[in-house]
């Protein structure tokens, strides 16, 4: 019985088993399924046992240890996600909201309370980094999983304006505005002191010479000009080189910023200590998370991506699901927002929550009208 050819009765039983397992975390027995179908004719415990056996043969259910109950496999969760995303997509298209801004009330299963909680959580956010950092926290909170937000590659960002402010000895705030309207801010720890005049001169030089340049190219060009003009412009370009080298333009070896919250949620949900140890080792490597999000979520697309079973990344992550979507502003990719959680997640709500938060970026970081 291939996944795509499940008969209506098998699909109904499989859906009931998955939702009971998500709710309880325990293997599901035929009696529990029968109780959930008490109002339906022709679905006795014996019939349900036969259907469960058939689903097991198809690789959609498995029996852990010697328990009489069954648990869904990764293939079952993938099938379940396909059914959910198909229903959500059809409802959203009917409501005219699938490709047009935030989901409308009739198409979104998010409750008004949940939407209000999300909206309140983003109060006061004014920059891209704040948005991404807040996103990781909110998604961890509402999913009981890991909330992750990855900034887009510097190569996709184009400079509109940059400003430097001296905070304290050796510390400077760099505020970069991209042509898409994103505001990126970071605190730079410098190896030498730069005066207010030096900071203003550096900002003016970058704004006058590099407006419209991809930020990834600016640092290399500054280094090239330093070498060519070292004698004439040693002092001025030296200051600019120091600011760029310390990350003012988000370049260098550090890679894109990534925000992670909710590791304790996964610790609380995991029971196998060795699997937990291996899983945490995989997730604590932030470069692995960057690779994971980059591989599975395409910034050029607008839809939510759901990946059940991340064992291709690490065997210890086989029981995890990734739900991610790109966040955009003015047609440009700001980054990726995602949840990584046990497969027992509330799929329908979390798919819509990730979509809703990804689309908030257009509203809370909107470019002011002239």
The number of angstroms, rounded, from the C-alpha of 76 to the middle of its chain's C-alpha atoms is 23
Number of Cβ within 10 Å of residue 306's Cβ equals 24
Cα separation, 212 vs 210, in Å, equals 6
Q: Are strands 171-178 and 183-189 parallel, antiparallel or unpaired?
A: antiparallel
pLDDT value of position 195: 84
Q: Which fold has domain 156-245?
A: Enolase-like; domain 1 (3.30.390)
Q: E strands along the chain, which residues? A: 61-62, 71-72, 146-151, 159-168, 171-178, 183-189, 258-261, 305-308, 320-329, 332-342
Q: Is the pTM of this model over 0.85?
A: no
pLDDT value of position 337: 92
Which range, 2-6, 92-96, 202-206, 308-312, is most confident?
202-206
Report residue 160 as tokens: 């509109």
**106: nearest Cα among 124, 121, 88:** 88
Q: E strands along 169-298, which residues? A: 171-178, 183-189, 258-261
Answer with the residue of higher pLDDT: 344 or 39.
344
Sheet with strand 332-342: strands edge to edge: 258-261, 146-151, 332-342, 320-329, 305-308
pLDDT digits (tens, 9 = 90+) for 243-291: 777 666 654 445 667 888 887 777 666 555 666 666 666 666 677 778 7
Residues of 185-217 as b/e, b for ≥16 C-beta within 10 angstroms? Answer: bbebebeeebeeebbebbbebbeeebeebbbbb
> Is CATH 3.30.450.40 the classification given to domain 78-152+256-364?
yes
pLDDT digits (tens, 9 = 90+) for 278-298: 666 666 667 777 878 888 887
Place of tokens 């994971």: 292
Q: Are strands 146-151 and 258-261 parallel, antiparallel or unpaired?
A: antiparallel
Residues of 18-42 as b/e, b for ≥16 C-beta within 10 angstroms? Answer: bbbbbeeeebbbbebbbebbeeeee
pLDDT digits (tens, 9 = 90+) for 224-239: 877 766 555 556 566 7
Contact, 261 vs 150, CB < 8 A?
A: no
pLDDT value of position 324: 93
**304: nearest Cα among 334, 262, 339:** 339
pLDDT value of position 20: 92
Return residue ranges of the chain for CATH 3.30.450.40: 78-152+256-364
Place of tokens 């030498």: 192
Q: Which fold has domain 3-72?
A: Arc Repressor Mutant, subunit A (1.10.10)
Return residue ranges of the chain for CATH 3.30.390.10: 156-245
Mean pLDDT of the 304-327 span: 83
Return residue ranges of the chain for CATH 1.10.10.10: 3-72
Mean pLDDT of the 84-99 span: 52
* Apex 267 CA angle, 276 and 66, nearest 5: 60
Contact, 288 vs 146, CB < 8 A?
A: no
């Amino acid at each position: 019985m291939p996944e795509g050819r499940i008969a209506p009765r098998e699909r109904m039983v499989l859906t009931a088993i998955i939702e009971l397992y998500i709710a309880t975390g325990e293997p599901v027995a035929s009696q529990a399924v029968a109780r959930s179908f008490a109002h339906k004719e022709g679905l006795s415990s014996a019939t349900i046992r036969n259907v469960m056996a058939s689903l097991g043969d198809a690789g959609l259910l498995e029996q852990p240890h010697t328990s009489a109950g069954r648990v869904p496999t990764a293939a079952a969760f993938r099938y379940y996600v396909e059914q959910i995303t198909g229903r959500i997509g059809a409802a959203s298209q009917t409501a005219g909201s699938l490709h047009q801004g935030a989901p409308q009330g009739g198409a979104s299963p998010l409750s008004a309370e949940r939407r209000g909680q999300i909206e309140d959580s983003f109060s006061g956010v004014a920059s891209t980094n704040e948005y991404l950092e807040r996103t990781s926290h909110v998604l961890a909170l509402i999913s009981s999983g890991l909330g992750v937000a990855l900034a887009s590659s510097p190569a996709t960002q184009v400079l509109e304006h940059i400003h430097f402010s001296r905070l304290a000895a050796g510390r400077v705030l760099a505020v970069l505005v991209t042509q898409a309207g994103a505001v990126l801010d970071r605190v730079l720890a410098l190896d030498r002191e730069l005066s207010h005049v030096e900071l203003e001169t550096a900002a003016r030089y970058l704004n006058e010479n590099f407006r419209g340049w991809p930020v990834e190219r600016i640092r290399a060009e500054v280094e090239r000009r330093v070498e060519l003009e070292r004698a004439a412009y040693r002092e001025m370009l030296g200051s600019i080189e120091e600011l760029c080298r310390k990350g003012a333009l988000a370049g260098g070896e550090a890679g894109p910023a990534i925000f992670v919250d909710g590791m304790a949620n996964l610790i609380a949900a995991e029971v196998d200590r060795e699997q937990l140890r291996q899983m945490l080792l995989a997730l604590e490597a932030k470069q692995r998370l960057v690779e994971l999000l980059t591989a599975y979520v395409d910034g050029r697309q607008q839809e939510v991506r759901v990946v059940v079973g991340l064992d291709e990344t690490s065997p210890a992550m086989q029981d995890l699901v990734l739900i991610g979507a790109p966040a955009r502003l003015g047609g440009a990719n700001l980054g990726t927002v995602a949840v990584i959680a046990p497969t027992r997640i509330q799929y329908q709500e979390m798919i819509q929550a990730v979509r809703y938060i990804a689309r908030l970026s257009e509203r809370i970081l909107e470019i002011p009208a002239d």
